[in-house]
A and B are shown apart, each in its own frame.
Chain A
Amino acid sequence: MNIPDLLKCLTSSSCFITQLSSAIVIAMFLFLAASGLSLIFGVLGIGNFAHGSFYMVGAYLTYTVVSKFECFWLALILAPIGVGLLGLIVERLLIRRIYGEPHLYQFLLTFGLLLVLDDIVRLIYGFTFKSIETPKIFMQRPLFFLGSPIPLYYIFVFIMGTLVALGLWFILSKTKTGKTINAAASDPEILETLGVDVRLIYSLVFAMGAMLAGFGGFLSSPILSATPGLGSSIIIESFIVMVIGGVGSVGGTLIASILIGLSRSFGIIGFPDFELGFVFFLVMVVLIARPWGIFGRPLQ
């Protein structure tokens, strides 16, 4: 443990701001990956283990678009849409068959899908790490705030993550579509009797969740290499965020992402050997004290 180093950092404005900005960046990536998972679980009741693979496919689609068209901004549109379409197909052909089934069936199907998608990208792209060039607009000197460097790209990630969070909140709480989605999550049978095509809602929600993951994959491409198995490293953290934040809660997902970002960013200074364990400790505390998460509702 390095508590003196941690205290020194907390009392130094440059160190504090640097670690805080690092925490927010981690949080934004986590939020984008986990929000879709939480949405799918909250509305459809499906714990989608293949969700990380959507993130991975988003990264690979970004690589493909940028390699072919040399335009990062085109990938901003095409990659999430591509993953959304994939999500739609997966929901129609596979997920639809396991609604209401025991969780074990969901786990087996979605885990199998994760392995299949991993192998498909491996067959198409091979094992070598696929990288894209960071857009030149972001390769300038970092912005300095109170002596702390903040890379320009991370400011972009923060803005995008915030827009997504606000957009999700707005859609789910202020629009008719959002209210319909919430109703489908609460009582799909009643909704059906009112003439709403609940299956279509489910398809849209799954596609939306996939799109969010795909967008996360796009956004991470300038700083990560796409590789088979990328999804596996994201999915565990996404589930952690969902458990801590609460299923189906956008606000909870955001808060949980920030909490994990802070624990990793400052934990790496105070507890370098235990930084990851600390996150799991947080999960244990939440599961014991409030199993439905900080902002979730008890599952029925």
Chain B
Amino acid sequence: MKKSRREKKGKAYSRREFLKTSLTGAAAFAIGSSIGPSLVKAAGPIKFGLCGVTSGAGGMSGEATRNAFTLWAEGLNKKGGLLGRQIEIIQRDTQNKPEEGVRFTREFANRGDIDFIIPHGSSSEAFAVLAVAPEIKRLIGSSSETTEYTADPKVRSPYCFRFARNCLHDGLVAGKYAAEISKKFGLTRWYTIAGDFAWGRDLVGFFIEYLKKFNPKVEVVGQAWPKLFEPDFTPQITAMLATQPHAVYNGLWGGDICNFVKQGEMYGISEKAKFFYMALSDYLVIEPIVKALGKLPAGIYAGTRYSRGFPDTKANHEFHDAYTNRFGIRPLNWSWEWYTAALLIEAAVKKAGTTENNAVISALKDLSVKAPTGVGPGGTVTMRGRDHQLINYAVGWGVTVPGEPYLANIVGGSWEEIIQEETIWLKKKGWL
């Protein structure tokens, strides 16, 4: 019999053998591809990919976020981790650029080894990432406080969760509190000042709406909208004084408040009007002001962003003290928000029995956990399933005192009332 070319070359290789080998190899490859990495992943750490601003003037938010996750992770890792796996935190700096937020979110999604993606940047970054969430199809956490992020059904995403306060809640509690004070002291002429960006505009809008709702006699005599990180507020301060307001609602943030207070005290502003600061009680702000002025001016009304004394619970005290001892700085607003997020994700993973994002997303809906700033039943917060908005967190207003705890006579917002008013507002907008 004439030998085939293959046979002549010594390769006695039949078609049957070829098919058998090929099919076996293909099957092995397919099985290996699916099991191999999964086996590696299952045995490896659970990775949280954080991306947000960690440099420049807004960098403290990124630092607070990393600290919060680190505190949580270290505590959990000592007890054996989550589902038997250690927690690992990876962080990237977006430099406050929305396009960088999207880039890192995509990178984390494409890497294959990042279990949870946490874009913790500003609202502009949050909305940019929100836009690509349907494409990425992963659980996305956010601390954006701009109301639309979860309230507008045309905007919100089934993948995105707000582990933070929002401007509607804050503006409502602030407006009601300020309305009571304004009735008591006859403060009818109001001036507002807030940064000219989404948070500032949203916050002031809700504040005025609810201030007028609970005290229709007030009028807004002027508004100022300085840019974020404005170093010199002198023109805004003098323009404000020229309108002779009875009261001023200040929605500035962070270092802007420090600068405003320092520059304002040059003109003796605290003697000329009653001040209501949304974010003065943040430890980020209090300590530089105390250093600059020698003490915190007393009698200023301030919202609670994060305070060791509110809620005045053992859980909150322990969180504050553990954070301060670990990092040498006190917790900030982002600290409690992201620590709470970590607790919720932990509970959702345990409930789902997996880190697979779709399962965790389902588990997160209407999930309640005990948290340091929880004021729900048993000190819990809840991730509302309808819109993925955190509720039952501590939100209130008080009056400044010169020394610790810096804020006294705190009046907490009633969540029953908050939800009721929120529902009215959402129905009015056609969003519910």
User: What residues make up the interface of A, taking CB atoms closer than 8 Å to B?
Assistant: 5, 9, 15, 18-19, 21-23, 25-26, 29, 115, 118-119, 122, 126-134, 138-139, 141-142, 149, 151, 153-154, 220, 222-225, 227-230, 232-234, 264-265, 267-269, 272-273, 275-276
Contacts and interface: CB of A to CB of B under 8 A. Distances in A.
23 contacts: A19-B239, A22-B238, A25-B232, A26-B234, A119-B55, A129-B254, A129-B258, A149-B268, A220-B231, A222-B262, A223-B262, A224-B259, A225-B288, A228-B59, A229-B55, A230-B57, A230-B231, A232-B56, A232-B57, A265-B235, A268-B235, A268-B236, A275-B235
B255 interface: yes
Contacts of A139: 265
A134 B262 contact: yes
Interface stretch (B13-21, B180-188, B219-227): B219-227
Nearest to B330: A128
B432 to A, nearest CB: 31
A141 B268 contact: yes
**Size bin of chain B's contact surface:** 35 or more
Contacts of B237: 22
B140 interface: no
Interface in B200-247: 222-225, 227, 229-232, 234-239, 241-242
Q: Which 4 A-B pairs have the closest CB atoms?
A: A229-B57, A151-B266, A229-B56, A127-B60
A149 B267 contact: yes
Given A122-B59, A142-B266, A133 B258 contact: no
B223 A223 contact: no
A131 B288 contact: yes
Contacts of A134: 262, 266, 292-293
Contacts of A269: 239, 242
Nearest to B329: A128
A265 B240 CA distance: 11
Given A18-B241, A29-B232, A132-B292, A118 B262 contact: no
Contacts of B235: 19, 22-23, 26, 264-265, 267-268, 275
Contacts of B291: 131-133
Interface string B312-330: 0000000000000000010
Contacts of B265: 139
Contact of A129 (B234, B238, B288, B293): B288
Given A134-B292, A232-B56, A128 B284 contact: yes
Nearest to B221: A5
